[in-house]
């Protein structure tokens, strides 16, 4: 039971780090990446469908994204969805391909994006700390029920604290890498 608590806490902490990485990948940092369009939803024949399921998305140049819908009839729907998204991109269409030029970020926008990234990282840290608290509460309950000793509870809580520190450090590394990417001119 004790090892299960530790294992579950670690798995959830890993998922928290992965979620933060996925969220930060969709934040525009002045460089074209296909993951920038991950959250764009297209109204495809009345069904909300992610853009990456309707088209191939590539970045042939550092500041250009190419979106090639597999269904040529969906080009205008994809273009409309990109315009509606909060990415601030203006698509240029030549009939079958949508070109998205990623504009250079201003210093003001870079600082704004850094604040957004820090907020998301702090939310992830709070989630990791909540996981630690939940694991510790489960350990206290086991100790109260007499299933483990007080010493064992403290030992395992120390393990969980080390796990928490490790994953907070990983979150800080992800944050630092994204901030560096955003501030890069």
Shared domain check, 121 and 162: yes
Using the predicted structure, report yes or no on whether residue 180 has a pLDDT greater than 90. Answer: no
Using the predicted structure, report yes or no on whether residue 162 has a pLDDT greater than 90. Answer: yes
Taking the whole predicted model, whether its pTM rises above 0.75 is answered as no
Choosing from 75, 101, 127, the residue where a domain stops is 101
Using the predicted structure, report yes or no on whether residue 28 has a pLDDT greater than 70. Answer: no
Shared domain check, 120 and 147: yes
Shared domain check, 149 and 82: no
Model pLDDT, residue 8: 93
Shared domain check, 110 and 178: yes
Shared domain check, 74 and 45: yes
CB 179 within 8 A of CB 114: yes
* Helix, strand, or coil (residue 155): helix
Shared domain check, 119 and 87: no
End-to-end CA distance of the chain: 51
Shared domain check, 178 and 138: yes
**2: buried, middle or exposed (CB in 10 Å: 19+, 13-18, 0-12)?**
middle
With CA atoms as reference, report the closest residue to 184 among 12, 81, 30, 72.
Answer: 30
The DSSP bridge pattern shows strands 55-61 and 47-50 to be unpaired
CB 180 within 8 A of CB 117: no
Shared domain check, 38 and 17: no
Give, as one character, the DSSP assignment of residue 103: P
Choosing from 84, 101, 118, the residue where a domain stops is 101
- pLDDT of 91-147, one tens digit each? 888 888 999 888 777 888 888 888 989 999 999 999 999 999 999 999 999 999 888
What is the chain's length? Answer: 185
Shared domain check, 92 and 111: no
Shared domain check, 121 and 93: no
Q: Give residue 87's domain range.
A: 34-101
Most confident of 36-50, 76-90, 124-138: 124-138
Per the structure, the count of domains in the chain is 2
Choosing from 82, 101, 120, the residue where a domain stops is 101
Give the domain CATH number at 38.
3.30.1360.40
Shared domain check, 178 and 113: yes
Shared domain check, 156 and 119: yes
């Amino acid at each position: 039971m004790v090892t299960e608590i530790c294992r579950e806490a670690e798995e959830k902490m890993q998922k928290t780090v992965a979620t933060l990485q996925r969220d930060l990948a969709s934040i525009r940092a002045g460089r074209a990446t296909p993951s920038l369009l991950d959250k764009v939803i297209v109204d495809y024949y009345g069904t909300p469908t992610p853009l990456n399921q309707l088209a191939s998305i590539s970045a042939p140049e550092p500041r250009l994204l190419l979106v090639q819908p597999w269904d040529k009839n969906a080009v205008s729907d994809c273009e409309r969805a990109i315009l509606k998204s909060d990415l601030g991109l203006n698509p240029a269409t030549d009939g079958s391909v949508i070109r998205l030029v990623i504009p250079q970020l201003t210093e003001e926008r870079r600082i704004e994006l850094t604040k957004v990234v820090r907020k998301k990282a702090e939310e992830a840290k709070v989630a990791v700390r909540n996981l630690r608290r939940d694991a510790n509460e489960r350990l206290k309950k086991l100790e109260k029920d007499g299933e483990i000793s007080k010493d064992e509870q403290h030992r395992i809580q120390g393990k969980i604290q080390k796990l928490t520190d490790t994953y907070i450090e990983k979150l800080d590394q992800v944050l630092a890498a994204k901030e560096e990417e955003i501030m890069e001119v």
